Amino acid sequence: METKILLTEKELPTAWYNIQADMPNLPKPPLHPATKRPVGPEDLAPIFPLELIKQEVTRERWVPIPEEVLAIYRLWRPSPLFRARRLEQVLQTPARIYYKYEGVSPAGSHKLNTAVPQAYFNKQAGIKRLATETGAGQWGSALSMACNFFGMECTVYMVKVSYHQKPYRRILMQVFGAEVLASPTDRTQSGRAILSQDPDSPGSLGIAISEAVEDAATHGDTNYSLGSVLNHVLLHQTVIGLEAKAQMEKAGDYPDVVIGCVGGGSNYPGLAFPFLQDRFAGKAQSRFIAVEPSACPTLTRGLHTYDFGDVAGLTPLLYMYTLGKDFMPPAIHAGGLRYHGDAPLLCQLVADGFIEARAYGQRQVFEAAVQFAQAEGIVPAPESAHAIKCAIDEALAAREAGEARVILFNLSGHGHFDLAAYDAYLAGELQDYALPEEELQRSLARLPKVE
């Protein structure tokens, strides 16, 4: 019996799966921030290349992966699928636990799966530079690598507090030739507006998005690139689930439950959507669980409505579960899960009951992460550890029920740049934050009025 289920390079998928072809209800369309009417391609053209705008809205089931993108994917793809035999033993569960491991990418996470095609389609459109934001630095480092592969420039607006507290990812971006700025900066109007009110602003992802979008919109040779949330990002990530499906087949198993962590909602849809296709077709009855931090409980406690993607209100209004764009999540260690909204495609599937959502506090998440590391030898990213916690709970429930449940989760990245968080956990210094209902209501009361 195999522990590591591998595909050859020849078995790398050659098309991404577009769930818009099969899902029963599409989300309501994005709205223009000023007119509140559905955005058209011409609204997005100043910051995105036409090919990615097309991928946002296409209903074609399969979108071919260009050969130039496949050539770079082959540096680490197909990624391995593991059977977590040692974890199963520790848990004494009859469940069979599988995980797809995206930490083998040179950026250490799934984010390179979309960074590469985004850089490629921009390069094809004659764009010379990409501007983006990054929180803890995972997305910024992935895009820096991708731009470097295609000989493009990259400007990364990095949330100021992370810029100073987490130097290693900044250095990684600089190794790949990116310009990394501590946001808020004085380069953009959005940044200057924040600095004039609060010169010591620690920054936030929402502010950094405003700066990167403004940079792209005001420079003809520059586009904007987003690492999650948008339809084309989720599309690119389906390479994860397509491989996982082929690997599960090789293992002679099919998942009863498919689990992943959600920040903006890209790695989890990447794994889940190809399996959801079987569910829509009536070929399988798998359950789907999206896991988020209880400190930033977008899917479990947010509202399903229109909201901006950024703080300044420059982005289109997206129909999604949101905590309100001004929501300031506490500084939990899973920096990649602190976004106020989630991908509209994922949100629609949650609203329609295909995907359930669960939230966990960070202490129980780190406990699961350490248990996993000691059993399987991989130190997971704190984000990914949310999925691990849920997988362990499912395995324990299977033990209670005496059921040979098949569990599949996405291990979206490794935690080698997050060891300070493990240090805090081991020293007993990690805190759980319960989000008070009043605070949530205050934030939701400021949602933009659409109707």
Ligand X SMILES: *Cc1c(COP(=O)(O)O)cnc(C)c1O
In the chain, the largest separation of any two C-alpha atoms, in whole Å, equals: 62
Q: Is 118 in the site for ligand X (CB under 6 A)?
A: no
Q: Is 228 in the site for ligand X (CB under 6 A)?
A: yes
Q: Is 43 in the site for ligand X (CB under 6 A)?
A: no
Compare residues 389 and 405 and give the one whose CB is closer to ligand X.
389
Q: How many CB atoms lie within 10 A of CB 316?
A: 18
Q: Is 305 in the site for ligand X (CB under 6 A)?
A: no
* Chosen residue from 30, 255, 265, 344 binding ligand X by CB under 6 A: 265
Compare residues 182 and 337 and give the one whose CB is closer to ligand X.
337
* Chosen residue from 30, 33, 264, 316 binding ligand X by CB under 6 A: 264
* Chosen residue from 77, 96, 111, 236 binding ligand X by CB under 6 A: 111
Measured between its terminal Cα atoms, the distance across the chain in Å is 58
CB of 122 to ligand X, least distance (A): 20
* Chosen residue from 223, 267, 315, 443 binding ligand X by CB under 6 A: 267
* Chosen residue from 33, 255, 263, 309 binding ligand X by CB under 6 A: 263
Region binding ligand X by CB under 6 A among candidate stretches 118-126, 260-268, 391-399, 439-447: 260-268
CB of 221 to ligand X, least distance (A): 27
Pair 133, 106: CB distance under 8 Å: no
332-361 positions binding ligand X, by CB under 6 A: 336-337
CB of 107 to ligand X, least distance (A): 8
Compare residues 270 and 316 and give the one whose CB is closer to ligand X.
270
Region binding ligand X by CB under 6 A among candidate stretches 210-218, 264-272, 367-375, 401-409: 264-272
137-176 positions binding ligand X, by CB under 6 A: 138
Compare residues 208 and 381 and give the one whose CB is closer to ligand X.
381
CB of 30 to ligand X, least distance (A): 17
Compare residues 207 and 233 and give the one whose CB is closer to ligand X.
233
* Chosen residue from 115, 143, 258, 262 binding ligand X by CB under 6 A: 262
Q: Is 109 in the site for ligand X (CB under 6 A)?
A: yes
Is the four-CA dihedral 284, 286, 57, 28 of positive or negative sign?
Answer: positive
Residue ranges that bind ligand X, judged by CB under 6 A: 109, 111, 138, 228, 261-267, 336-337, 381, 383-384, 412-413
